A and B are shown apart, each in its own frame.
Chain A
C-alpha cells in the first residue's frame, strides 16, 4: 500500500492448482497471483481449503496438478526448488510451533545458522533485531513455555523474519490465542504490513482485513468464490455464500 506502490512485480503465482486428499477434492483449480508488497487476507468456513492453499505455497503440502511459482522459482517437487522457495517464504502457524527445548533466542538463530550458514554472532544480532521489532527482546533468554500465547506467537513471527523472507504466510495466527492477546499479535502483523512485507493471511479477523488487506479472498469448498478490495468485499459482497459467511462472522463481532 505504502512502500510497494512503485514495485508491483509478481512474487507468487498459482495456476490451476488442484489438490486431493484421497477422494476429497481439497483445492479446485485455484489460480492466484500475489504482487510484491501485497497483503492478502484469505477467509472462509473451516474446511474450505484456505490453510491447505497457503501450505501448498511452501510445499508443506503437495499438489496434484497445476503450477506454483515463487519469485521466479517453479515448485516442481525437487529438493532444490523446495529449498529455494522455503528460503523466501516465512510461515507462522496457529499453534506457534516454537521449539520448546530452545530459548527464544535459540529458536530464532537456528535456521539462519543451519540454512544460510550465518555465523553465531551474526545470527544473534539478527535475532535480537527482529525480537526487538516484535517487542519481546527482554524475553530472549526464556523458554517458550514461560511465555504467554501472544508472546509465543510474536516470537514465532520473529523466528520467521530472521530468515529475511520475501513473503510471510500466516495460518490463523490468532485463532489459538486468548482474546486479550489477539491485539498484540495483530498489531505486530499490522506493523509488518506497514513496513511493506508481502503477506498472505488466513484469518477471521475482519478488522485486520479492513485495515491492512489489499485484497480479501473468500474460499468455500476448495474454490475461490470471491475476491475484492476490503471496502467492496464487506459492503457489497456479490455471492450468496459470501453474504452468509460474512453474516455469520460479523454477527460475533
Chain B
C-alpha cells in the first residue's frame, strides 16, 4: 500500500477539472441545442416535430455509455481525426440536448395557453412571443428538472473514462491501482462528487418548494 499524498491529490484535482469542464461543456452545448430541439418539438411544422421526437427517443432510449462509444469510434470511422476530448464533448452535447430539449418542451407546453393568445392578440411575432413571453416562464417552470438533469450529467461524465478520458473517476481508479487503497481513494472521489452535486440538488428542491408555494 502506498500513501496518498500531495501528488495523488493533485492528480485527482486534475481529474476533477476535466469532470467539471465536461459537465459545463455538455450543459452549455446541450442547453443551446436543447432550446432548439424544444422549439422544434413545439413548432407548427409536423416534420420538425417528428424528427426531434425521434432524436429525443434515440438518446433517451439508449445508454449514455453506448452513445459515447458510437460518437468516439463513429467519428474516427468517418475518417475525421478528433481527440478524445472533442469526441466526448460532442457525445455529451448530443445527450444533454435530447434530455434538456424534452424537459423544456414540457415546460413550454406548461405555460398557460392564454399567454400565447395574449401575445398573439397584441400582434407579437414568434421570436418575441417566445423570447419575451413564453421562454422566460418556461425556463422558470423547468428549473427543478433542469438542475436535476445537471446533477445526472455531472455524475454521467464518469462514463467518459471508458474511452480513455482521465476525469475524476478514472483518476481515482489510477490512484487506487497505484496505492492499493481503493476504499479510501473512492471515498474521497465520492465525497468530491457529493460536494458538487448535493448543493445543486438542494437548490433544485428548494426552488421546487418555492414554486409549489407560489402556485398554491
Please give me the residue from chain A that is nearest to B129 by CB atom: A114
Please tell me if the beta carbons of B123 and A115 are within 8 angstroms of each other in the complex: yes
Please tell me if the beta carbons of A87 and B115 are within 8 angstroms of each other in the complex: no
Taking the complex as formed, is B80 at the interface, i.e. its CB lies under 8 A from any CB of chain A?
no
- List of A residues within 8 angstroms of B58 by Cβ: none
Distance in angstroms between the alpha carbons of A68 and B128 in the assembled complex: 27
Distance in angstroms between the alpha carbons of A97 and B133 in the assembled complex: 11
Pick the residue among B118, B120, B121, B123 that contacts A99 (CB under 8 A): B118
- Number of A residues contacting the other chain (C-beta, 8 Å)? 24
Please tell me if the beta carbons of B132 and A86 are within 8 angstroms of each other in the complex: no
Please give me the residue from chain B that is nearest to A115 by CB atom: B123
Please give me the residue from chain A that is nearest to B118 by CB atom: A97
Distance in angstroms between the alpha carbons of A95 and B115 in the assembled complex: 10
Given A95-B114, A97-B114, are A160 and B137 also a contact pair (CB < 8 Å)?
A: no
Please tell me if the beta carbons of A114 and B118 are within 8 angstroms of each other in the complex: no
- Number of B residues contacting the other chain (C-beta, 8 Å)? 17
Distance in angstroms between the alpha carbons of A97 and B112 in the assembled complex: 9
Please tell me if the beta carbons of A93 and B140 are within 8 angstroms of each other in the complex: no
- List of A residues within 8 angstroms of B133 by Cβ: 99, 110
Distance in angstroms between the alpha carbons of A100 and B134 in the assembled complex: 11
Please give me the residue from chain A that is nearest to B115 by CB atom: A97
Taking the complex as formed, is B195 at the interface, i.e. its CB lies under 8 A from any CB of chain A?
no
Taking the complex as formed, is A128 at the interface, i.e. its CB lies under 8 A from any CB of chain B?
no
- List of A residues within 8 angstroms of B125 by Cβ: 83, 114-115
- List of A residues within 8 angstroms of B136 by Cβ: 101
- List of B residues within 8 angstroms of A87 by Cβ: 123
B residues 112-148 near A (Cβ < 8 Å) are 112, 114-115, 117-118, 120-125, 128, 132-133, 136-137, 140
- List of B residues within 8 angstroms of A190 by Cβ: none
- List of A residues within 8 angstroms of B124 by Cβ: 110-111, 114-115
Given A100-B137, A101-B136, are A159 and B117 also a contact pair (CB < 8 Å)?
A: no
Please tell me if the beta carbons of B137 and A101 are within 8 angstroms of each other in the complex: yes
**Chain A nearest CB: distance from B136 CB in Å?**
5
Distance in angstroms between the alpha carbons of A60 and B117 in the assembled complex: 7
Please give me the residue from chain A that is nearest to B128 by CB atom: A114
Please tell me if the beta carbons of A91 and B123 are within 8 angstroms of each other in the complex: no
Please tell me if the beta carbons of B122 and A86 are within 8 angstroms of each other in the complex: yes
Spell out B's residues near A (CB within 8 Å): 112, 114-115, 117-118, 120-125, 128, 132-133, 136-137, 140
Spell out A's residues near B (CB within 8 Å): 58-60, 83, 86-87, 89-91, 93, 95, 97-101, 110-111, 114-115, 156, 159-160, 163
| A-B pairs with beta carbons under 8 Å apart, 18 shown | A58-B120, A60-B120, A60-B121, A83-B123, A86-B120, A86-B121, A86-B122, A89-B121, A91-B118, A91-B121, A93-B118, A110-B122, A111-B123, A114-B128, A115-B125, A115-B128, A160-B122, A163-B122
